[in-house]
Structure 1
Amino acid sequence: MNPGPHKEERPVPHEQQLQPFAEFDAEAVRTWSSLAVAALGRSRDAIDAINVYPVADADTGTNLYLTAESADRALGAAGAAGLVPAVQAWAHGALIGARGNSGTILAQLLRGVADGLGDTPADRGPGRLLAHALTRAAQEAYQAVAHPVEGTMLTVAAAAARAAEAAGAAAGTAADVARAAYDGARSALADTPRQLAELGRAGVVDAGGCGLVAVLGALWQALSGQEPEPEAVGRPADGGAVQQPAPCGAAEEPGGPAYEVLYLLDAGEPAVARLRERLDGLGDSLVVVGGDGLWNVHVHVDDPGAAVEAGVEAGRPYRIRITHFGDERRRRTPAERAQRAVVAVVPGEGLAALCGEAGATTVLAPPGAAPDAEGLAAAIRRAHAREVVLLPGGPDQRAAAHAAAERARADGVRVAVIPTRSAVQGLAALAVHDPEGSFDEDVVAMTSAAGATRYAELAVAERQSFTSAGICQAGDVLGLIDGDVAVIGSGLAETAEAVLARMLGSGGELVTLVLGPDAPDALAERLEAYVQHGHLAVDTVTYQGGRHSAPLLIGVE
């Protein structure tokens, strides 16, 4: 199951691991952070394999690892600082790099630690100081989740806090409090299958809770110098052997929102309160963390555009990541690793659903929300395969795709990037994808299919401008062929016909039409008739691109 060694940017020397810290200070926090990244790096595949709640998509361990890695980088960049500023920098790094449901909750836990340290009287001893910080962390994490569920990472955090408070009240040292929190978390984790039906049916413990136990084990190691015993990740509450998680559909009806939406948001607290209410009505797994004007928003929805629009109304959303879960989460158990997968970047929900039905893991990239390298790397990990073919979708996403591929290769995944320049080229490549053939032959066939597909896009000019086809006015319809403006027209249908005439003038066997959300109902019929009338040997297929798609995409193979 393990694809290879994981690269850790800040390995902790062995002698530092064995050197305890008498005080819970900034240096202890730096060591805690490094040890947490290392612990999550070792266990992330095992945690991914038991991920069945809230979505069985095999990425909880990866999300926690990436979140902790982002936090660790921010802490390292903060340089020399006191305890509270160091933890604040650590929490901020987690906030801006939080991934998924579990990573977002971890970010809030770290912020709670910072808040707890900041409001604790100076005369409290190190043990009580740490206990209060862990209690504040658990409280804030519960507040960040719209509908807290017991048997999850939140339950584990609360149990750790209670155990820490008891140790602190007994005048324990910081190391004593850390050990109590670690033991309390382990005990609560083992009991999660009795609290959450999904876990009990699958015979595993909560994946997010597993990650939190690893983080708290790193805290105890930093303060005591003693290395925790290796955890039997996934161990059921009765201590028996780990069971293979059952497919989601085997125990429950298929369902749940189709998209995961994450973004950072600059907004005030009143606007965020309204945003919570609106997003809560759109989907589930809602977690909003942060404060002081900066928030990280996570939600599962069927309408990702509405979730982003709600963010626009609340403030300024950015670093938007939209991922289509697809039917794979219902067909494959989290513990199974496919031999080969396709990851496709697409501009609209309709294309995402189409690619998902074809077996691809999709990343939605509406205008202004092109995925970054980390987002694409997370999608590659979500695909959970030994070999991945990546379809970046457009030239502006090519650099991020290659950077993501390099990250995945460092984890032992074989990745090939197909140089697609349009979603229709991605569809052509996906149509010839052969998961049973050799990897090299599959990549060659998909690359050839994409390269043999000429592409066009119709757009509406926003202002007067000089183009390669002449001067356009605001409102004119522009027909772009292979990225350059070739036709300027007044209507969508007439311009599309002119574009098709140019593209089919050099031949073709198949025309692909992808209609945007505002395209007239009769447009597809008119263009299909146009192609059939002038080119009898050419077939036509039509798809709905969905929200955020261009008015019309055309591919000619």
Structure 2
Amino acid sequence: MPHEQQPQSPDVLDADAVRTWSSLALAALGRAREDIDAINVYPVADADTGTNLYLTAESADRGLADAFPEVTDGTAATSLAEAVRAWAHGALVGARGNSGTILAQLLRGVADVLGDEPAPPAGHGPGGLLARALTRAAEEAYAAVAHPVEGTMLTVADAAARAGEAAGAAAGTAVEVARAAYDGARAALAETPGQLAALGRAGVVDAGGCGLVVVFGALWQALSGQEPAAEPVRGRAVPVPRPPDPCAQEEDGPAYEVIYLLEATEAAVGELRERLDALGDSLVVVGGDGLWNVHVHVDDPGAAVEAGVVAGRPYRIRITHFGDERRRARGERAQRAVVAVVPGEGLAGLCGEAGATTVLVRPGEPPAVAELLDAVRRAHAREVVLLPGGAELRAAAASAAEQARAEGVRVAVIPTRSAVQGLAALAVHDPEGSFDEDVVAMTAAAGATRYGELAVAERQSFTSAGICQAGDVLGLIDGDVAVIGADLAETAEAVLDRMLGSGGELVTLVLGPEVPDTVAERLEAYVQQGHLAVDTVTYRGGRYSAPLLVGVE
């Protein structure tokens, strides 16, 4: 929970001020998120800028809290540098959308100054230090955007920095610098409709800039203890006479938003920027020190992800189709949607083609409740069927479902224990039928699907099939080790024999990225020779998937 604000000296800039700024910004963005969503028309009118800023601020606040779990009353001795770096890192790993990614870079710019200089140099007060931090933040945000556009939150950040710098040069206190930055941001926000045609046509100010004004207001409140007046902050920030269909002007833009975290060198990221810039628009790459957050709008999401693979190691990949977002922006809510947790990029694409909203997971990194809840929200439907894809995710899925129900969404969790059970459930999904009948049919299809998996043992251990050694191929059936072998194909044949021993009509094979097509051909022929009435379908699981998944229906 956010800690209560402690009184601040007008010229004190410390870790507690950062924690207070964070909690106040999160609360203020929470109050303003719907209004900000309502005026979101640029770069894509998808009505999610306020939500993206809020979720980014939430991740930043969580990063700050996780770094100092012992802090409950604001009295623990924590350095300014540690606090601001933790805050910026939390924003980086949880940045959402174009606006959230830019906000993360702004916080990184603040951290680059305050984190390097925990105490002001001789002859310089905290006001000057804060002014330099805001200037660095604006500079780094502009540098992170491939093609900066005026009339956006970049313009607001720059105006705030210039106003803060002027106050700092006049030997102002930290509070005076914060107030000047806040006032500068508000003035710049009011001018954005005249700087950007899309805003002028819609009769609104920039949504991202509106959120940034909220953040600067929280900074001033954190240092002064005075709450910003409602009218100056929100008066021109929420003018909402909108065109009948503000999304129509964006229909010719790229179809997908792609976001992922990337572990890569700075040199590799430079090359990545060039590749992604040629693929789409709204390119923002933020971060540093080996960890980056990549955001781009493209028509070919696979190519954007592949570019990340070439540059380094992308993960937490999130792909959003703007058609769904535009419908949401128009207030249209689908009757029913499916959310599927999948362990592989190929499976994510496969489920996405079937109409599901997907949550991609990497081995050993199960999604948190917040990530599942976000996927339910992104599905934007009155009814949602959630396929967790693993027994270990049932508790998180149940918690996400409970929270979604509190928001008015009817959610059913089908206890799928493997991705192949999720595929079976999706195959019988009927969005036109009644919710209860659909859930029953999908549950029955999942329950009637036996699931197997082939994995490679990492160490010697005892299993239900005997002792295995590191490097052995393990054949699991319904979660238990049933076969231990030395060869993937031979072990898979043994697993298929056991699974088909009790009958079956369809075998589903999902191959991992390192498994050659010859293995699939061998297994398909093996099934056909021994079970003439059984059909076989084969898919590629893609990166992060197991070597082989098997389903028998």
* TM band (smaller chain): 0.7 to 0.9
Corresponding residue of 2:106? 109
Change (3 A) 1:23 1:520: closer
Q: Distance in 2 between matches of 1:391 and 1:233?
A: 43
Corresponding residue of 1:10? 2
Deviation at 1:168, TM superposition (A): 4.6
Change (3 A) 1:322 1:456: same
Corresponding residue of 1:93? 87
Residue in structure 2 matching 1:36, options 25, 46, 58? 25
Contact 1:328-1:359 within 8 A present in 2 as well: no
Contact 2:338-2:356 within 8 A present in 1 as well: yes
Are positions 1:228 and 2:230 aligned together? yes
Deviation at 1:555, TM superposition (A): 1.4
Corresponding residue of 2:318? 323
Q: Distance in 2 between matches of 1:249 and 1:427?
A: 36
Contact 1:135-1:165 within 8 A present in 2 as well: yes
Corresponding residue of 2:280? none
Amino acid at match of 2:479: G
Q: Distance in 2 between matches of 1:245 and 1:253?
A: 16
Contact 2:102-2:284 within 8 A present in 1 as well: no
TM-score under structure 1 length normalisation: 0.78
Q: Distance in 1 between matches of 2:311 and 2:435?
A: 42
Corresponding residue of 2:75? 80
Q: Distance in 2 between matches of 1:502 and 1:512?
A: 15
RMSD: 4.0
Change (3 A) 1:487 1:278: farther
Change (3 A) 1:544 1:423: same
Corresponding residue of 1:273? 266
In the TM superposition, 1:383-394 aligns within 5 A as: 383-394=379-390
Deviation at 1:215, TM superposition (A): 1.0
Deviation at 1:387, TM superposition (A): 4.0
Are positions 1:542 and 2:538 aligned together? yes
Q: Distance in 2 between matches of 1:462 and 1:25?
A: 49
Deviation sequence 1:471-498 (CA, Å, 0-9, x none) = 5566654432112232345554444343
Contact 2:95-2:104 within 8 A present in 1 as well: no
Q: Distance in 2 between matches of 1:458 and 1:309?
A: 27
Corresponding residue of 1:4? none
Change (3 A) 1:196 1:287: farther
Corresponding residue of 2:285? 287
In structure 2, the gaps of 5 or more residues are 278-282
Change (3 A) 1:37 1:463: closer
Amino acid at match of 1:288: V
Contact 1:352-1:362 within 8 A present in 2 as well: yes
Contact 1:478-1:487 within 8 A present in 2 as well: yes
Amino acid at match of 1:280: R
Residue in structure 2 matching 1:65, options 54, 61, 76? 54
Q: Distance in 2 between matches of 1:324 and 1:447?
A: 27
Contact 1:351-1:544 within 8 A present in 2 as well: yes
SS at match of 2:441: helix
Q: Distance in 2 between matches of 1:260 and 1:528?
A: 36
TM-score under structure 2 length normalisation: 0.79
Contact 1:350-1:544 within 8 A present in 2 as well: yes
Contact 1:20-1:225 within 8 A present in 2 as well: no
Corresponding residue of 1:219? 219
Deviation at 1:419, TM superposition (A): 1.9
SS at match of 1:302: helix
Corresponding residue of 1:3? none
Q: Distance in 1 between matches of 2:467 and 2:240?
A: 73
Q: Distance in 1 between matches of 2:471 and 2:126?
A: 67
Paired residues in the alignment total: 526
Worse-matched range after superposition: 451-460 or 404-413: 404-413
Deviation at 1:129, TM superposition (A): 5.0
Change (3 A) 1:11 1:518: closer
Q: Distance in 2 between matches of 1:294 and 1:286?
A: 16
Contact 1:254-1:330 within 8 A present in 2 as well: no
In the TM superposition, 1:111-260 aligns within 5 A as: 111-116=108-113, 118=117, 120-121=120-121, 123-124=123-124, 128=128, 130-145=130-145, 148-169=148-169, 177-192=177-192, 205-222=205-222, 223=224, 224-229=226-231, 231=234, 235=238, 241-243=241-243, 246-247=246-247, 251-255=251-255, 259-260=258-259
Instruction: Quote the sequence identity (%).
Output: 68
Change (3 A) 1:306 1:250: closer
